[in-house]
Copies of this chain bind each other. A is one copy, B any other.
Amino acid sequence: MTVMKGTAVEEEALAIATAETCPLASAQTTAGRRTVIEIDGRRVGGESFALIAGPCTIETREQTMQTARAVRDAGATLLRGGAYKPRTSPYAFQGLGQEGLRLLAEAKAETGLPVVTELLDVADAEAVLEVADVVQIGARNMQNYALLAEVGRAGRPVLLKRGLSSTLEELLMAAEYVLKEGNPDVMLCERGIRTFENAYRFTLDLTAVPVLKERTHLPVIVDPSHAAGRRELVTPLSLAAAAAGADGLIVEVHPNPAEAICDGPQQLRCDEFAQYALAVERAAALAGKTLGAGGSVAVASPPEREPALA
């Protein structure tokens, strides 16, 4: 046995020194620039407001294609959709898995929208990375460090959801697990926290938006669908999030929510999505952001940056 206490203590002293005295990667900026992530011609961050929309869960080919076309036509910038679904109960539907990924790939091919989908298990990383333009890490896995390191190494943009009882500091530290592996493209996502109030599923914490923007150069996205759990609340919360300065929204849309397998009540209808997108665009403008800015033309020009971080 050769482990020396001194060694471990020194290692720890170093670790603490690193954490306390070195600026975190999520806070360090070059000339105060904010991170703007380029995803196949779409930008997230800076003055570009992202509207990420699509079904909660990939269920069928028709549902997927119909939703993808509807959100693309209304101005969504990315397509979301769950192939692997984290479920509280092991007996609940766990998603279509690889079949779901194939449907997402088909929707992307047809609409041109880059795809955001969740990775739940390191074992599925290869399959998910074949399709995902952005890899989502769900709230339950915010501190699944093996998974964070995996997507850090994968080098693909990451959408990291805040744990339902995680502090902002813990969220930033979770992002650090990805950044540390050399992957700079992390979007943070507020999706509602757990409080005493039971009139809604979660309490959307919009104070997190300006506070995160003070502490990090990473883009901040808001998920109003999971927070509220009801379609009626999605529009007011989306406008509020955009007005508060969020860099984007991720919302659930379904052609026929009444028949959705998961979370039907919180999904917007395809036929109301265009009106929703217009309202969001106006709210984002209040905070100086433009929906869908970037686009294929923008790829050629150098990424724009926001003014220096205070």
Contact = CB atoms under 8 A, between A and B. Distances in A.
A35 B102 CA distance: 44
Given A146-B122, A243-B240, A198 B167 contact: yes
The interface residues of chain A, by DSSP majority, are classed as: helix
Given A209-B236, A211-B199, A286-B286, A61 B1 contact: yes
A197 B203 contact: no
A63 B1 CA distance: 12
Contact of A12 (B143, B163, B261, B282): B261
A117 to B, nearest CB: 16
Interface stretch (A14-22, A41-49, A292-300): A14-22
A254 B173 CA distance: 28
Nearest to A57: B8
Q: What class of interface size applies to chain A in its complex with B?
A: 35 or more
Most B CB atoms within 10 A — which of A22, A63, A88, A205? A88
Interface of A: 1, 3-5, 8-9, 11-12, 15-16, 18-19, 22, 59-63, 86-93, 96, 99, 102-103, 106, 120-123, 140-141, 143-146, 163-165, 167-170, 173, 176-177, 180, 193-200, 203-211, 214, 227-228, 232-233, 236-237, 239-245, 259, 261, 279, 282-283, 286-287
